[in-house]
Structure 1
């Protein structure tokens, strides 16, 4: 383990490598305790860099031999690097460097590099795991062609896989066998992968639009093959979509997905051999929810789309991580929206993505780990696989898409691949390609300024105020942008595409013609204003009535909008806005103001009639999609409420949200009953958007009915929920009923939890859900915290398995604030103990948990002081990993 004395790495210090590795021939003799690795590399000096020693990365390796062109050479170790001095005296031209070393996969609890899981061998090399396999220039701008030979005991490891195409396979003496793979495309070491395990595969032959045949395979452990149909269908859909939408075909003879139970991440896009957390592969109606099905489609798409945006073109350095991740998140979002089909289902997907952004990325922008989409420095790169790089990075790409249009963006993507296929490049290169393909666009005109989205941290704040002049029939919109408080330097103005509409109070969409434009009877009712200055004014003419502005439609930029709209204005938008996002947003803002008022007051919550009537109108609406109704009727999360509060009192926020929820449950009782009875999908289970939306709304209604029944001492709806739990034919309905019972603390909750465990304790992913449901239950007199501590001792809990640790520890600490933030500081003591314990096992996982207290300085007392004390206790641990030290050091630097 690298300790916490690692140096700060700066983007400005980037230099090209002194050597290029053009090809790699790897041979593995696989053994859990001692795997032998032989690496034969074709290396040549980079003549653009002064001659110097070759410095190779390596961690926890046992080196046995180093030779150049067949002759042994001397070497030394320096600052964790293998240094070979003699190479700088070689004549110009390629030479063969051979390194032999061993590693110990069975001892690799970090799950980075080569490790064992469930009796098999697996790898995870992004970002810097390859150096834990063999010595190498482990950096993304060193791209080589790989040939890999795997040798292992056939009975234990019948499946041997690596990147690319299978060249040959055969038998060896002593019950062993081999497989030889070749990837014809140059790639950085982080995209290397191997698998050796006892697996079975679902296979599918396809022919692409280009007329080429390909073999698709999804590998899983024995017994899980019946849960792979959806993953395979998602892979096929991804291949078809990418070729149709962006003209990007599958470029290998085969494409493989392998499911791994012990995995730090969600999935990894290794060229041709994607490794996946089982969570994002396995699904059946009995074991997976509608959300699980949607997540699998999205993640399979994301990793496949990396084949071009990440693999064929990769990052010059890790500071450019959003070049591949932000772009590919945008692509997987577009894919999921296209798969959803209907405009309503597309809107639901967009709302879900924005809600995720605001729940997890906006707080990061305002916290101690705030950083630009393209960071300027880091200590540990694994700490920068963040919502800012991924989700905000996707929003930056989406703004480019908005500024150049769908066809213009496709043209920009084509130019990007024409220029850079097979290269390691930068975010600037991508933005320049999109702009150059659209020379008349607002993006091309403002590109240097637009790229501030890559270089400035924080969430911009946009303030808008409108003034209507009846005599002249004009409406003037004044807009001001201010950079957020994150970071120390003042923010320069961004380029912000602001999609807008104007709505009459009767719901009529008004035409939008600016004062300097020619009269046009067909003036649009929606348009995009491009904000470039700190303050701008836009005057619209021929506006017949005073309008209600509908601003930031579709969430056209990742900003905080302050528009001064009244409740009456928001009710107009909720009832009439043609933009589904702003319609949803209006409902959220109406709820938010009432939740914050309740959190600030000690008086009982009394919701006003206009708000209740508005929620009833949405619930009863004849044409709105059920999934959209469910989103509108979902109150803002406690985390989002905390971001709107100062100081943050988690228990007051929780109490306020529960009080508002209970009042909605009571006052809309008859409406919830109607919603439950009328939103039951007919026919066999299908995770399609319409059926999923109906189940979502029915399950929300059931939860509200149970909550109201328990509050009144009734047993009708908890009894119905328990019966539904027992009779359910799919996991979505079964889990919905179980959650309704647990979250209302109904008497039926205990027998339901017991029955659920008995039914699914042999299904690891479902058991993760069982742990998570209990860890996220609303706190009552410390009982949830006590139960949580007992679950840590459960025989099925293991802190070494990332999924299980996340399901219990992360769920409790990050997603149950009222239970975690305790006046007696017991939650913080637990957090510190387990961050330090995890750090000795898996620093990547530990650093994720460490971020739970990023926003400690915003807490009210007594939480604030106790949280800081816990962070300081972790920081005082002398052998802390660089991963965790970077997190806690930054946290303590805040005030």
Structure 2
């Protein structure tokens, strides 16, 4: 793996390669310790490049076995080679030529899980972002597109299936005991999309008929015995393919589409052309082992990786600074797909929760960066919520700005103009500018300016003149490397709700307000509505149309009016959430100062009434009853944060709500659907409402008995895990909780994915003893430290999801993470760096905790021999 480096890559330094790759032929002779790789690359010198300019290929921990030019060995005097670079001089000036590179690699000892590695007897690749250079010397960058032919040779006993990108050319016996398979991908692609999988796997198959009538073979490979659990993934794949045809006119373009599920994987999944590789947690599901959330995640991630076929594969990004061009856009597409498959308002609420919980803190801390960064040291560290989730929000805003019709025109133009290209953000925006006739120069600042904009909103109602003025003022705080920022184009969807609950149909004059959207483009703007019959209540940023912080003095009565009457379900939820947040922030501050907490009766009345309102869909009621998390409250407080005070305040509010609504919650807790399990949105919503009602009822009763009874009677994983969560969160030391945990462990001892839930629930339990329990579990003889899922389930859950346990005043949580990061970094730098981001908000803590966090970061920094991944993160955290 690459160790720490001071090299900084800058967007402004981009230049094309000196040589153009026309095609690449790869041959793999697979062996756990000595896999031989032969790469035959046909290239020509780019026009205008001088004849004395050498060819420079990337490598990473490689050893060169052989090097040929047009079939003849190259004179060693004409090349220089290190584990990380191959430089070849004296190449032809004009005619195409062939360079053959031979290397030997060891998949079995590749614990970084980048390049070609071996897990549970299966050979697997992960090449994004820069893993291909761990296989062979090559131009490992996204703007080098080539046609690939791949031949795989392996033992028949060891690898039943030999898979790669594209269409199957054929195969057969290679020699005694070995066989081969050849694959050809006719679509030029960058090296990061290369894939190879070989192993003895189980298989489920289906077909899909495209809109032009072609039949595509669909195959999903999993571990033997798990084939029935891949059925939902196959169904989600077929629905994704049909949706992309109907909504975007995008048809699949190969004869076969394959998915392989593996247990050791750093990411959720990878969109390799025609051969997606998945973390098995996002493929395997059945009612007994997967929750409703697991089913929803599988549906979304299957769709995401499939949609990449056009937004990422057919059109890729010119360089890694443009990563959001494929990821943010494809997240937007998978969000839209899930909204169509499920409840659109509930899906949008979940997206907002995720954005505020993870991306807003990233924007506000030392790891802040624009959606399109200007520079980086380690590209692996920019697979962030800013690139993905905020990148998606920017695409959503484009649709809001231009409207649905011109958005589709812009997307069609993008597909037509850039198919087969490595494109840029400028290319993307130009398509919408042309389709809509709008100028996107100011809007493009969303890609280049870091941070979350704040919009201050004030209103003025003139009874005599029947006018209503809305004043908007935007600001954007300094972030690392960006102190002064220009005004953004912020599209804010709005509504004026009249006293009778109806909506005012008029709109302010001027081009900056149309179709229910106020377009804030200057520092300060005033919008005036005339002819308003009665004092309205302003509903602003409906649907969370822009990823901004809204600062607005609205009374509790006005928020309640929005919650009762707004036609936008997301706005109704935001009004309820705002009331809860205000109360929790104030209660947390009082708890920090040792003062009595205010009554939450008004909030309790609103939430209990919402819970009892059968006119609202169950999934919406479940979202409304879910109080802002402790991390959300901390974000709103902003500085001098005391996690213990926040926890105490939130627990007190939960208790008051629970007591006020015990009768309602008791009734709803029994409302889960009966009969055969369905992962569909309707039944999942009823289970979600029953689960949160069970939590409130158990809190009010002060006993785990209700949850333990639900645990014992559960016939699906959703109810089982809900009940166990109620016990571990509220009664961690109770005998019933210990018994349920033991039962769960025994029942699912042979199922690693389900056992990950067991680890996470214990890591998330409140109380002073949780850290000791995490240490005990880490030291267990059957705990697999090499599996990313397992480490995320325990260490990741504790550090990112347990604010009081992780942020203990004695600094023990920080020291635990520092120790684990240094240890993991030796094997898997990507995993180590991602776990370390749990400390991104350390400077917002109160002084004592800040110092303990700083010391932990310094201890990592002083460990020495860190990977580039970890050193980049820790340096940025300490420098800010």
> Same fold, TM exceeding 0.5?
yes
**Residue 546 of structure 1 corresponds to which residue in structure 2?**
535
Residue among 739, 744, 753 paired with 1:756: 744
Residue 455 of structure 2 is aligned to residue 467 of structure 1: no
Structure 2 counterparts to residues 781-796 of structure 1, below 5 A: 782-796=768-782
Structure 2 counterparts to residues 219-368 of structure 1, below 5 A: 219-340=221-342, 345-368=343-366
Residue among 417, 422, 425 paired with 1:419: 417
SS of structure 1 residue aligned to 2:735: coil
**Residue 55 of structure 2 corresponds to which residue in structure 1?**
54
* Separation (CA, whole Å) in 1 of partners of 2:124 and 2:557: 58
Residue among 485, 488, 494 paired with 1:491: 485
TM-superposed CA distance for 1:681, in Å, is: 1.1
Judging changes above 3 Å, is the alpha-carbon distance between structure 1 residues 194 and 536 closer, same or farther for their aligned structure 2 residues?
same
TM-superposed CA distance for 1:516, in Å, is: 6.1
Is residue 508–residue 528 contact of structure 2 (8 Å, CA) maintained in 1?
Answer: yes
SS of structure 2 residue aligned to 1:682: coil
Per-residue CA distance 1:473-527 (angstroms, 9 max, x = gap): 111111111112324331101111110000123322122232469xxxxx99x70
Residue 706 of structure 2 is aligned to residue 720 of structure 1: yes
* Separation (CA, whole Å) in 1 of partners of 2:49 and 2:857: 44
**Residue 64 of structure 1 corresponds to which residue in structure 2?**
65
Residue among 799, 803, 822 paired with 2:808: 822
Judging changes above 3 Å, is the alpha-carbon distance between structure 1 residues 72 and 706 closer, same or farther for their aligned structure 2 residues?
same
Per-residue CA distance 1:653-675 (angstroms, 9 max, x = gap): 11111111122112211121121
* Separation (CA, whole Å) in 1 of partners of 2:49 and 2:222: 46
**Residue 863 of structure 2 corresponds to which residue in structure 1?**
877
* Separation (CA, whole Å) in 1 of partners of 2:785 and 2:517: 49
* Separation (CA, whole Å) in 2 of partners of 1:597 and 1:409: 42
* Separation (CA, whole Å) in 2 of partners of 1:100 and 1:728: 57
* Separation (CA, whole Å) in 2 of partners of 1:49 and 1:703: 68
* Separation (CA, whole Å) in 2 of partners of 1:721 and 1:493: 51
**Residue 498 of structure 2 corresponds to which residue in structure 1?**
504
Residue among 657, 661, 684 paired with 1:664: 657
**Residue 34 of structure 1 corresponds to which residue in structure 2?**
34
Residue among 569, 579, 585 paired with 1:580: 569
Judging changes above 3 Å, is the alpha-carbon distance between structure 1 residues 764 and 71 closer, same or farther for their aligned structure 2 residues?
same
**Residue 16 of structure 1 corresponds to which residue in structure 2?**
16
Listed as ranges, the gaps of 5+ residues in structure 2 are none
Is residue 63–residue 83 contact of structure 2 (8 Å, CA) maintained in 1?
Answer: no
Please report the TM-score for the alignment, with normalisation by the length of structure 2.
0.97
Residue among 522, 525, 530 paired with 1:533: 522
**Residue 198 of structure 1 corresponds to which residue in structure 2?**
200
Per-residue CA distance 1:103-126 (angstroms, 9 max, x = gap): 011110000000000011000000
Structure 2 counterparts to residues 827-838 of structure 1, below 5 A: 827-838=813-824
Is residue 62–residue 84 contact of structure 2 (8 Å, CA) maintained in 1?
Answer: no
Is residue 507–residue 516 contact of structure 2 (8 Å, CA) maintained in 1?
Answer: no
* Separation (CA, whole Å) in 2 of partners of 1:132 and 1:66: 17
**Residue 77 of structure 1 corresponds to which residue in structure 2?**
81
Is residue 600–residue 656 contact of structure 2 (8 Å, CA) maintained in 1?
Answer: no
Is residue 61–residue 83 contact of structure 2 (8 Å, CA) maintained in 1?
Answer: no
TM-superposed CA distance for 1:606, in Å, is: 4.0
Residue 11 of structure 2 is aligned to residue 7 of structure 1: no
* Separation (CA, whole Å) in 2 of partners of 1:431 and 1:302: 22
* Separation (CA, whole Å) in 1 of partners of 2:256 and 2:716: 33
TM-superposed CA distance for 1:709, in Å, is: 2.3
Is residue 457–residue 472 contact of structure 2 (8 Å, CA) maintained in 1?
Answer: yes
Is residue 26–residue 146 contact of structure 1 (8 Å, CA) maintained in 2?
Answer: yes
Structure 2 counterparts to residues 588-599 of structure 1, below 5 A: 588-599=577-588
Residue 428 of structure 2 is aligned to residue 430 of structure 1: yes
Is residue 271–residue 309 contact of structure 2 (8 Å, CA) maintained in 1?
Answer: yes
Judging changes above 3 Å, is the alpha-carbon distance between structure 1 residues 516 and 173 closer, same or farther for their aligned structure 2 residues?
closer
Judging changes above 3 Å, is the alpha-carbon distance between structure 1 residues 515 and 39 closer, same or farther for their aligned structure 2 residues?
closer
* Separation (CA, whole Å) in 2 of partners of 1:795 and 1:236: 42
Residue 600 of structure 2 is aligned to residue 600 of structure 1: no
Per-residue CA distance 1:834-882 (angstroms, 9 max, x = gap): 1100110100000001111111111102111010011011111220111
* Separation (CA, whole Å) in 1 of partners of 2:577 and 2:8: 41
SS of structure 1 residue aligned to 2:252: coil
SS of structure 2 residue aligned to 1:383: helix
**Residue 520 of structure 1 corresponds to which residue in structure 2?**
none
Is residue 4–residue 885 contact of structure 1 (8 Å, CA) maintained in 2?
Answer: yes
Instruction: Please tell me the root mean square deviation across aligned C-alpha atoms, in Å.
Output: 1.4
Please report the TM-score for the alignment, with normalisation by the length of structure 1.
0.96
* Separation (CA, whole Å) in 2 of partners of 1:540 and 1:496: 19
Residue 859 of structure 2 is aligned to residue 867 of structure 1: no
* Separation (CA, whole Å) in 2 of partners of 1:555 and 1:431: 22
* Separation (CA, whole Å) in 1 of partners of 2:58 and 2:625: 53
**Residue 742 of structure 1 corresponds to which residue in structure 2?**
728
* Separation (CA, whole Å) in 2 of partners of 1:588 and 1:735: 25
**Residue 166 of structure 1 corresponds to which residue in structure 2?**
168
Is residue 9–residue 377 contact of structure 2 (8 Å, CA) maintained in 1?
Answer: yes
Per-residue CA distance 1:28-78 (angstroms, 9 max, x = gap): 000010100001111111114444111111112221111111121132126
Q: Which deviates more from structure 2 when the two are superposed, residues 588-597 or residues 252-261?
A: 588-597
TM-superposed CA distance for 1:359, in Å, is: 0.6
Structure 2 counterparts to residues 63-142 of structure 1, below 5 A: 63-73=64-74, 74=76, 75-77=79-81, 80-87=84-91, 90-142=92-144
Residue 621 of structure 2 is aligned to residue 615 of structure 1: no
Per-residue CA distance 1:508-563 (angstroms, 9 max, x = gap): 2122232469xxxxx99x70111111111111111011111000000001111112
Is residue 16–residue 49 contact of structure 1 (8 Å, CA) maintained in 2?
Answer: no
SS of structure 2 residue aligned to 1:478: strand
* Separation (CA, whole Å) in 1 of partners of 2:565 and 2:367: 40
* Separation (CA, whole Å) in 2 of partners of 1:164 and 1:355: 38
**Residue 152 of structure 2 corresponds to which residue in structure 1?**
150
* Separation (CA, whole Å) in 1 of partners of 2:418 and 2:642: 51
**Residue 513 of structure 1 corresponds to which residue in structure 2?**
507
TM-superposed CA distance for 1:604, in Å, is: 4.0
Provide runs of 4+ in structure 1 moved above 3 Å. 48-51, 603-606
* Separation (CA, whole Å) in 2 of partners of 1:752 and 1:669: 24
Per-residue CA distance 1:385-430 (angstroms, 9 max, x = gap): 0000000000000001111122211111111111111010101101
Is residue 501–residue 512 contact of structure 1 (8 Å, CA) maintained in 2?
Answer: no
Alignment length (residue pairs): 868
